[in-house]
Amino acid sequence: MTLEWLLARPERGLFALMAAQAIFWTLAPALSHTAPPLDVVEMYAWGREWVVATFKHPNLPGLVLEPLRLLAGQAGWTAYLVSQIFIALTFWAVFMLGRELMDAPRALAGALLLTGVYFFSWVTPEFNHNVAQMPLWALVMLTLWRGTMRGQLIDWLLLGVFAGLSLWAKYSSAVLLVVAAAWILWDAQARKRMLTPGPWLALIAFALVAAPQALWLIAHDFGPFAYAARRASGGEWYAPIEFLLTLALDHLPMLILLACAGWFGKPAPDAPPQPEQRAVRFLLLLGFGPAVLTALGALISGASLRASWGAPMVVLSGLIVVALLSNKFSGTRLKRLAIGAGVLIVVVSGLYYGHMRYGVVLTGKPLRGNWPQAEISRQLEGAWIEATNAPLRIVAGDIWTAGLVGLNARNPPSVLINGDYARAPWVTPEEVQRHGALIVWSGGEPEGLPEFREGLETRELRVRSPYARAANAQDIRIYYAILPPQSEPTQ
């Protein structure tokens, strides 16, 4: 198998890209982490409760992870693999869209260029709502284009389904749906489709898929929106500019890829024709529209913005570059780009592995991923059993520390987040009274937890990262208290 053979059919190159991404970026965290990333721990805590949504977000990531945890019998590597499957699906959807907007070789180039975007590399081991959105956004864009171009009912049906699922991933996906609606109203050919059954079928499918989320929000007084408003409050006037500039800086490795591939050189003599202007307008509107609309919303409301929220907004970056620089495209440059993308995947995933595996060896300061999750769980569960002789059903505390306890158990305990029943409605005061609770925290104690554990003895657990070697390596300090059950039968 040679590179020429892979690129002779761009579909082969695409699947090679998907496989390389999945293999290297699954192995890098699986071989270096001794505890999953924070968001993964949180997704597992939500997923085991099988809820539609939580006080923060809809629960699609948790509902994806929990069945796989049950099948595999453990957490950790399954989350890393799932995350890369979502990234690989994004590559596939981007390729399929690019093939329809331009042609297969340029579509492959657009997918390869995404390996040079920050959100497709370093942060992908942390499966969360941002990663979950990425393929769904790309699929919405793909089916929107197909629906307006071909007018087939299946395309419109899938558009509605993917649009609805995008809200299961994160409510902020609504910004994409606003831009998609703007395209339908703006583009003349798309407007004509409004007179056909397709768009209305999409609307019905969207309503059916999104209905559980809408009903949950109504029943819970739109709590996640209040949470988002609190989290985004107090933004500086320059927050929108900073957000857009950060998104641009996240593409610096892409510029290196383009330079190494010779894309900034002279136009290629055998370059393909420029894509149709309608295709370019579609890419620009769907590619830049959500980020610009988000920035404008923050400017008007004074909200702060987090760069990570832009992860799904960059899925068209590669296709936009290829479309605007089609006169530079050639088979030779595609080959160089494929080599560069492969090198980037191997090198950056290797750096990630080294950072997680050897960083604590050099500094003595453990990252969260260096925490010995298995040992922490074993010692805390052991302390609980010794004190109560009862099964551990509830752990109260900050989501990170509490979420680590029993993570790989067949029936892990429910997490009472910060000891707050409003944040964890799957736990009731009656259940705490009946089953008791292990109360844990590390670092600063969450607000509300002192009252929850009032009158209980505080104990300390000290552990070290299994990778720590320095004489001055820092201990990981975990504090805990035991609220014994009142009517739990002994084992």
The predicted-structure confidence for 274-295, as pLDDT tens digits, reads as follows 999 999 999 999 999 999 999 9
**How high does pLDDT run on average in the chain?**
95
How would residue 176 be classed by pLDDT, with cut points 50, 70 and 90?
very high
341 and 198 part of one domain: yes
The predicted-structure confidence for 330-389, as pLDDT tens digits, reads as follows 999 999 999 999 999 999 999 999 999 999 988 889 999 999 999 999 999 999 999 999
Q: Tell me what the mean pLDDT of segment 101-118 comes to.
A: 98
pLDDT above 70 covers a percentage of the chain that reads 99
Q: Give the list of residues 6+ apart from residue 462 with CB closer than 8 angstroms, or none.
A: 475, 476, 477, 478
Q: Is the pLDDT of residue 451 over 90?
A: no
- Predicted confidence at residue 490, as pLDDT, reads 44
Q: What region, left, alpha or beta, does residue 434 occupy, with left being phi > 0 and alpha being psi -120 to 50 degrees?
A: alpha
- Predicted confidence at residue 491, as pLDDT, reads 45
Which candidate, 415, 409, 411, places its Cα nearest to that of 394?
415
309 and 197 part of one domain: yes
The predicted-structure confidence for 380-406, as pLDDT tens digits, reads as follows 999 999 999 999 999 999 999 999 999
pLDDT above 90 covers a percentage of the chain that reads 88
Residue 359 lies in a domain: no
Q: Tell me what the mean pLDDT of segment 132-149 comes to.
A: 98
- Of the candidates 332, 354, 376, which is a domain's last residue? 354
Q: Is the pLDDT of residue 102 over 70?
A: yes
> For 250-324, where are the alpha helices, taking DSSP H only?
252-260, 277-301, 317-324
The distance of Cα 67 from the centroid of its chain, to the nearest Å, equals 18
258 and 295 part of one domain: yes
416 and 270 part of one domain: no
- Of the candidates 328, 354, 380, which is a domain's last residue? 354
Q: Tell me what the mean pLDDT of segment 191-215 comes to.
A: 97
Q: Is the pLDDT of residue 487 over 80?
A: no
342 and 372 part of one domain: no
Q: Tell me what the mean pLDDT of segment 138-155 comes to.
A: 97
Distance CA 453, CA 455 (A): 6
421 and 380 part of one domain: yes
Residue 63 lies in a domain: no
331 and 401 part of one domain: no
- Predicted confidence at residue 377, as pLDDT, reads 97
What total number of domains does the chain contain?
A: 2
163 and 213 part of one domain: yes
Q: What is the DSSP letter of 310?
A: G
Domain range for 161 is 3-33+76-354
- Of the candidates 354, 385, 418, which is a domain's last residue? 354
